Structure 1
Amino acid sequence: MYETIKLNLNNLKNNKIFELTVVAVIIISALEIGAKTFTLSNTAVSVTYILDIFITLFFLFEISVRFIADDDKKSFFKKGWNIFDTLVVAISLIPINDSEMALLARLIRIFRVLRMVSVVPELRVLINSLIKAMPQLGYVILLMFIIFYIYAAIGSFVFADINPVLWGDIAISMLTLFRIMTFEDWTDIQYETMEVYPMSWVFYLSFIFFTAFAFLNMVIGIVVNVMEDERSKLRQEKESAKNVPTIEDLHNEIQELKHLLKQQNSQSNTRE
């Protein structure tokens, strides 16, 4: 009985229509959360309340299907995305009306939109790539901070008398340099200092070259390399999953063996 239910739920979990339905419910959940930020009529509030109950129950059903259909239930909660989905669903079950946990429950409901990441494999690859790239990015960020610190110290020493609002101390100078790196009206800052120091353009262009060009390309290169590794792992997992027989395949093979045994028994009985 249990194996039959497990087989049916596994077929449901792998069904494309069911996967698209989950994605559609996540999108509806996002729209419902956005609708609550507007001033709604009493009818609309009732509709969103009923819709919220339906979405919560659907997510509870979906996570239950995934857990029951999983072959290795001991490892189910060892996966980060399964833990995230379960926490979001569990906290969504908390009643939010007249409760001290109302604000937390509402905030958690916002994170239901992130379930799109756990449902779509390509999005999981992107997030996993960013997380795994963080150790390598840490050294790039450290080097960028050193460059920021050196240029901020130079800027505060040289340009503080020109514009103390932008170059008053090293902390303000670093904020100004971040504005320059993002190209937010940086030419106005440059032309202001060039009126006193005509060669100050070297300061700005060299800083932009190091940060906006060199370091940005380093970050992109690291993320792309990690992403390629994650995609290759995903392809290998898909290929290995194809080679591993599913419960449905084993069930079909058992049925075929039973059919062959029946044929052999009938043949032996006719001979006798």
Structure 2
Amino acid sequence: MKRATLDETTSNSPLEAAIEAIWFRNFITGLIIINAAILGILTYSDSLSPGTVSALEMMDRGITFAFAFEIGLKLIVYRQQFFKQGWNWFDFIVVGISLVPGGESFSVLRAMRVLRVLRLLHVVPMMRRITEALFKALPGMGAIVAVLALLTYVYAVMATNMYGDTDNPEVAQLFGDLPSSAFALFQVMTMDGWRFEVVQKVIDDGHPYSPFFFLTFIFIASFAVLNLFIALIVEALAAEQKAATEELIDEIEEDVQQAEEERDEMMELLKSLREEIAELKNAVAAGNKADP
């Protein structure tokens, strides 16, 4: 028997074909969605009856064992090749955490069960495409984060020097030291209550021209640098969509080429049939002429 491959379009055994079938993936997707709903409902366990909580926890354990059974089937089929994909590692670790003995006694491990919901990111093709595009954009995001951190550091040093030496406890809490200034500028960058919670306090402390300082930071950090994240993600999604489109076009061209080859074979077959029919007609005509 041929060794199984991670290519979902081909299968070398009935078990591999079953695992890669659409109905199986849809079944797993349904279990993930149901499990997500159960974990959400269990957050209200204090207001639910003990019987309902027990039933939901039993369903959760049953779904966990179903996921473990799925991973076991894939390990049997793919063997070492299973670990060649990062998503398979993710599934293996997340399901493994859910099966840790005594995990229910630790709130962290119990809370991490919800990570199983993230399996939708690669089970659903569209989500997987978007997630892979985001991963491809991470190197560029790192450069943007570095620029943003440098910009925040420069402005934080300036803000500490300009506004940190004050008797106002509220302003001192915002800009009394470098970490506090960086955190306050981060709040300004997100524009979450920046007008009254940060800038107005600085103005009231005797700095009437401070809005110009904060506005330049907002224009540079929020409107310029942060928008680079959006541009980078859009570019990554466009590249991923282009790659998917090109792959689809290649598949269509292969199908068209195969259809043309089959058509040519049919034409050759029809031609040979016509020749044989013509020969038969000639033979019959010659036989009729030979008869007295």
Structure 1 and Structure 2 fold alike (TM over 0.5): yes
Q: Quick one: which amino acid aligns to residue 176 of structure 1?
A: A
**Count of paired positions:** 240
Rg comparison, structure with higher value: 2
Contact 2:175 2:184 survives alignment (8 Å): yes
Equivalence map 1:25-174=2 (5 Å): 25-37=31-43, 38-39=45-46, 40-67=48-75, 73-96=79-102, 103=107, 105-160=109-164, 161=166, 163-174=171-182
1:200-224 CA-partner distances (Å, limit 9, x unpaired): 2210111000111101111111122
Select the residue among 14, 17, 29 that pairs with 1:10: 17
DSSP-derived class of the 2:181 partner: helix
Quote the Cα distance in structure 2 between the aligned partners of 1:199 and 1:98: 56
Match of 1:180 in 2: 188
Letter in 2 for 1:224: V
Q: Which runs of 5+ in 2 are unaligned?
A: 5-10, 256-292
TM-score by length of 2: 0.70
Which residue number corresponds to residue 23 of structure 1? 29
Taking the aligned partners of 1:93 and 1:12, their CA distance within structure 2 comes to 22
Percent identical: 32
1:225 corresponding residue in structure 2: 235
> C-alpha root-mean-square deviation of aligned residues, in Å?
3.2
Do the aligned partners of residues 148 and 113 (structure 1) sit closer, same or farther apart at CA in structure 2, a change above 3 Å counting?
Answer: same
Q: Secondary structure at the match of 1:19?
A: helix
User: Which residue identity lines up with residue 35 of structure 1 in the other structure?
Assistant: I
How far apart in 1 are the matches of 2:202 and 2:108? 49
Structure 1 alignment gaps of length 5 or more: 246-272
Pair 1:119–1:176, CA change in 2 (3 A): same
Equivalent residues of 2:104, 2:110 under 8 A apart = no
CA offsets per residue over residues 43-102 of structure 1, 9 Å max, x none? Answer: 1232123202320232133334545666xx543211000111122233433343787xx5
Match of 2:207 in 1: 197
Q: What do residues 100-126 of structure 1 show as CA deviations (whole Å, max 9, x unaligned)?
A: xx5565244221111111211222222
Residue 261 of structure 1 is matched in structure 2 by none
2:64·2:95 contact (CA, 8 Å) conserved in 1? yes
The separation in 2 between residues aligned to 1:130 and 1:26, in whole angstroms, is 22
Moved more, 17-26 or 138-147: 17-26
User: Do the aligned residues in 2 keep the contact of 1:92 with 1:109 (CA within 8 Å)?
Assistant: yes
CA distance in 1, matches of 2:216, 2:116: 44
**Preserved contact between residue 155 and residue 167 of structure 1 (Cα < 8 Å):** yes
Change (3 A) 1:36 1:244: farther
Q: Decide whether the 8 Å contact of 2:87 with 2:122 is kept in 1.
A: yes
Cα contact 2:156–2:185 (8 A) shared by 1: yes
- Maintained 8 Å contact 1:140/1:215: yes
Native 8 Å contact 2:103 2:110 kept in 1: no
- Aligned 8 A contact 1:13 1:65 in 2: no
Amino acid at match of 2:125: P
Flag the structure with more relative contact order, 1 or 2, with Cα contacts below 8 A and sequence separation at least 6: 1
Q: Aligned equivalents of 2:53 and 2:172: distance in 1?
A: 52
Q: Name which of structure 1's ranges 183-192 and 114-123 shifts more when overlaid on structure 2.
A: 183-192
Matches of 2:176 and 2:195, distance apart in 1 = 19
Contact 1:96/1:105 (CA < 8 Å) preserved in 2?
A: no
